[in-house]
């Protein structure tokens, strides 16, 4: 990406911005992008803007937010005594990003009180455009501006983000199909389906985002009409990843920490049945874990009701 900066918007109908480092516990999108790359950072920022959070990369700079004009602010890192305007907030960048949201939306998301590093900034109600610099300055400057924030229009209608999120649904077959398109060498081979199932349900820290509607999404760009892929019955011995009752999604689903839609229930049973029938190669402890998972799955999703 050759451009120097890009724009995104934040609706602030309450007239108060809540400014901090990391609000992803309550403002986040499904899946993830590679934020080691500029492209991934842009996509992450754009995806976060779509869920109501201005969220952009600033490095380990601990910047401030400064009022620099009428309804205009900057997020900037400054040398002592070189402030570009009136400082209205400080950001401790443990994550190397900032997060800014509308206060009413902040409260709707279930925040109780304020995060330790969050501060309120009163602003003119309306939509604010963020012009964010993609590249950090190579030389050290007295003031390094990361984002310029300007009021551009009266508030947009308030979006019901929770209702929008509740409409999202994917089947296991769709997720498998998308992963084959994204990683044909890894998942397009003879055992690709088993490898995907292993990655979703057994691997510790597989990287997917579990939605309350019962599916796991990896690629945030997956379209709602993604084609289905048929998932075979796993009917021979595989070396399933050594499962952790605390961290493997199959265990979380059996224990009730993760919800499963019917397609993911079928996939979970497919894995458990395979392990109990054929074993798990050298990872024999998986058999005991699978027995416990089967008990939990039968309680939550009885086969007789499927």
Tens digit of pLDDT for each residue in 223-281?
999 999 999 999 999 999 999 999 999 999 999 999 999 999 999 999 999 999 999 99
Task: With beta carbons less than 8 A apart as the criterion, state whether 239 and 271 touch.
Answer: no
User: Do 11 and 146 fall into the same domain?
Assistant: yes
- The range of the structural domain enclosing residue 66 comes to 5-164
User: Do 144 and 237 fall into the same domain?
Assistant: no
Q: Could you report the per-residue pLDDT of 29-81, keeping only the tens digit for each?
A: 999 999 999 999 999 999 999 999 999 999 999 999 999 999 999 999 998 77
User: Do 113 and 9 fall into the same domain?
Assistant: yes
pLDDT for 135 equals 76
Average pLDDT, the chain: 93
DSSP 21-56: S--TTTS--SS---TTSHHHHHHHHHHHHHTT-EEE
DSSP 226: P
Single out the residue in 107, 139, 164 at which a domain terminates: 164
Q: Could you report the per-residue pLDDT of 107-117, keeping only the tens digit for each?
A: 998 776 556 67
Q: Between 12 and 138, whose confidence is greater?
A: 12
User: Do 127 and 202 fall into the same domain?
Assistant: no
Name residue, tokens 């605390």.
246
User: Do 132 and 193 fall into the same domain?
Assistant: no
**DSSP three-state, residue 143:** strand
Sheet holding 126-133, edge to edge: 5-12, 126-133, 143-153, 72-78, 64-69, 86-90
User: Do 290 and 173 fall into the same domain?
Assistant: yes
Q: Is pLDDT above 90 for 136? A: no
Single out the residue in 138, 164, 190 at which a domain terminates: 164
User: Do 148 and 274 fall into the same domain?
Assistant: no
Question: How far is Cα 115 from Cα 194, in angstroms, rounded to an integer?
Answer: 42
User: Do 109 and 205 fall into the same domain?
Assistant: no
User: Do 55 and 173 fall into the same domain?
Assistant: no
Q: Radius of gyration over alpha carbons of the chain, in Å?
A: 23
Report residue 231 as tokens: 């998932």
Record the pTM.
Answer: 0.88
User: Do 153 and 228 fall into the same domain?
Assistant: no
Question: How far is Cα 25 from Cα 32, in angstroms, rounded to an integer?
Answer: 14
Give the total number of structural domains in the chain: 2
pLDDT for 209 equals 95
pLDDT for 56 equals 97
């Amino acid at each position: 990406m050759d451009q120097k900066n890009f724009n995104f918007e934040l609706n602030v109908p309450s007239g108060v911005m809540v400014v901090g480092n990391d609000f992803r516990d309550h403002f986040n999108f499904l899946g993830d992008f590679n934020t080691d790359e500029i492209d991934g950072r842009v996509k992450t920022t754009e995806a976060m803007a779509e869920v109501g959070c201005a969220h952009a990369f600033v490095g380990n700079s601990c910047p401030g937010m400064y009022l620099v004009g009428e309804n205009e602010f900057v997020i900037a890192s400054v040398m002592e005594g070189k402030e570009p305007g009136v400082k209205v907030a400080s950001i401790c960048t443990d994550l190397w990003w900032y997060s800014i949201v509308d206060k009413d939306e902040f409260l709707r998301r279930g925040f109780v009180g304020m995060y330790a590093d969050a501060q309120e900034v009163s602003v003119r109600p309306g939509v604010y455009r963020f012009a964010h610099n993609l590249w950090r300055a190579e030389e050290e400057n007295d003031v390094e501006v990361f984002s310029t924030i300007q009021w551009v229009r009266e508030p947009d209608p308030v979006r019901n983000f929770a209702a929008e999120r509740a409409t999202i649904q994917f089947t296991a077959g769709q997720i498998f199909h998308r992963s084959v398109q994204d990683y044909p060498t890894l998942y397009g081979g003879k055992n690709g389906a088993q490898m995907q199932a292993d990655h979703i349900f057994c691997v510790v820290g597989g990287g997917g985002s579990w939605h309350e509607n019962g599916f796991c999404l990896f690629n945030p760009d997956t379209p709602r009409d993604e084609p289905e892929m048929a998932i075979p019955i796993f009917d021979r011995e595989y070396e399933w990843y050594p499962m952790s009752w605390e961290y493997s999604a199959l265990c979380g689903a059996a224990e009730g920490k993760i919800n499963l839609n019917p397609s993911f229930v079928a996939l979970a049973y497919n894995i458990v049945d395979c392990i109990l029938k054929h074993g798990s190669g050298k990872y024999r402890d998986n058999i005991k874990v699978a027995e416990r998972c089967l008990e939990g799955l039968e309680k939550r999703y009885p086969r007789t009701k499927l």
